[in-house]
Copies of this chain bind each other. A is one copy, B any other.
Amino acid sequence: MSSYDFDLVFIGGGPGGYVAAIRASQLGLRVAVVEKDKVGGVCLNIGCIPSKALIDRASKFNALHELVAYGVKADLKAFDYGAVHSFSRKAAEKLSKGVEFLLKKNEVETISGTARLIGAHEISINLNAGGERRISSFAVVVATGSRPREVPGFEFDEKRVLSSTGVLMLKKLPRRLAILGAGAIGMEFAFIMNAFGVEVTVVEMLERILPMEDAAAAAVVGKAFERRGVKFLVGTKAFALDRGSTDGSPLVLSLGPAGSASPDTRLEADAVLVSIGRSPNTAGLGLEELGVRLDRSFVEVGDFYETSAFGLYAIGDIVKGEPQLAHVASAQGEIVAEHVASLLGKQAAGTDPRGSLGHRRVDLGLVPSAVYCEPQVAGFGSREEVLKASGVHFNSASFPFRGVGKAVAIDEAEGFVKILTDPATGAILSAFAVGPEATELIHELLLAKSAELLPQDIFSMIHAHPTLSEAVKEAALSVEGRAIHT
């Protein structure tokens, strides 16, 4: 036990801070979380969770069209998007209350306020209830997360020019929505809004949608979206926004080819969602004063996510060079918690050195990515174009969902599961999936890679029939050219 007020303090109670705080408490540390808003952070309150609630409702709305084929008449005149919105808020609130409870149960002190570092071991907190509180801690973890990135000319007003936060707070739907950025967030909202009847146009600077995902997977999603009426403008830059003279005037976006100097077309919309990335929240924390090295506002970290200031750690969306994902933040936080516990001579009973304890950094080759629109997209490891660019040899084997009985039975037979292997050793390098429940199916493949199993270990295992997981088995069989259903 240290002579400080706390052993470990997290600035920020998102999926980085709160998960790691619980882990640290399990390890016997005295822990606090400073949070200026709601625990659970962006992810839980204004990110992953409410958006998944909306996606689920959107999916059920899309199913209405199928039911019409069976004579069901659906009357949407009285449809109230406000009620859908309210459902998503309730899910978020329930989980945020749950996190509050978990922190309390684990004896983590939650301090409501805005923190500023006044030393590597000392924090001044501007309490939400008023006044200042100073606390000291053996180690401090900055886990302040990120906010939607703004584009000049498209500054958020959160009424018509929306960030992901603003679009989640809408209680009424716009008639026409333009979305800047065809990454995970842009595509998830394109799915949601399209399902609820909004005319959606997605504008992407790069040459394809979902540029961080497998290209073939992105193409499957693009085709499905276009069939539902979503319009894509790729290789297209949004130059300027004319907000009109009143709130009632339509927004007018000036668009043009990504490489050109000026726009050549106009797009009218009633609202625009700008989802082109997220900026780290590292200003005003006192990081520079403590000598913490930043690179374009991201924090540079070393082993165990320690910053250049001794005893000061950084995790989550503010970390330079690691993906801005909730599950990465949690994993980083657990590494810090277990490291700090070991510095203080604590180690959980039963903790095996093969656990997160002992890891110095998250293995980025084992981080799953997931896009939750339908069809879903998921993957891990380097994409084909990245491997090619680095001159890495690989075999690529994929299996289509149309060969999977369950997928055909539920009429969701688009997509595939793909496995990239090392031709020399047979080892799994990467895997990608697009289609029904892809974000769940990817975990079997990820476990195989993380335990250094071979495709053989997957296909030798009996998979329940009829399940979507059979696509994973068949993809593994495809690596050896012996799939059954293709």
A330: Cβ under 8 A from any B Cβ: yes
Digitize A352-375: 1 where CB-to-B-CB distance is under 8 Å, 0 elsewhere.
101110000010001111100000
How many A residues touch B, CB cutoff 8 Å?
Answer: 104
Measured between beta carbons, the chain B residues less than 8 angstroms from A466 are 43, 48-49, 52, 326
List the interface of chain A (C-beta within 8 A of B): 15, 19, 22-23, 26, 43-44, 48-50, 52-53, 56-57, 60-61, 63-64, 66-67, 69-81, 83-84, 87-88, 91, 94-95, 98, 102, 325-328, 330-331, 348, 350-352, 354-356, 362, 366-370, 378, 403, 405-406, 408-411, 437, 439-444, 446-448, 450-451, 453-454, 456-469, 472, 480-482, 484-486
Q: Which residues of B contact A453 (CB under 8 A)?
A: 447, 451
Q: Which residues of chain B are near A26, meaning CB under 8 Å?
A: 482
Check if B102 sits within 8 Å of A465, measured CB to CB.
Answer: no
Q: Which residues of B contact A462 (CB under 8 A)?
A: 327-328, 330-331, 362, 366-368, 446
Q: Are B43 and A102 in contact (CB under 8 A)?
A: no
Q: Report whether B460 and A439 are in contact in the complex, using a CB–CB cutoff of 8 Å.
A: no
Q: Is there contact, CB below 8 Å, between A71 and B98?
A: no
Query: Least Cβ distance of A354 to chain B in Å?
Result: 6
What is the distance, in angstroms, from A370's C-beta to the closest C-beta of chain B?
4
> Contact between A408 and B370 (Cβ–Cβ < 8 Å)?
no
Give Cα distance in the complex from A481 to B472, angstroms: 31
Tell me how far the C-beta of A281 lies from the nearest C-beta in chain B, rounded to whole angstroms.
19
Nearest B-chain residue to A69, judged by Cβ: B83
**Which chain B positions have C-beta within 8 A of A443?**
444, 461, 463-464, 467, 469, 472
Inter-subunit contact B76/A72 (CB<8 Å): yes
Q: How far is the CA of A354 from the CA of B66 in the complex (A)?
A: 45
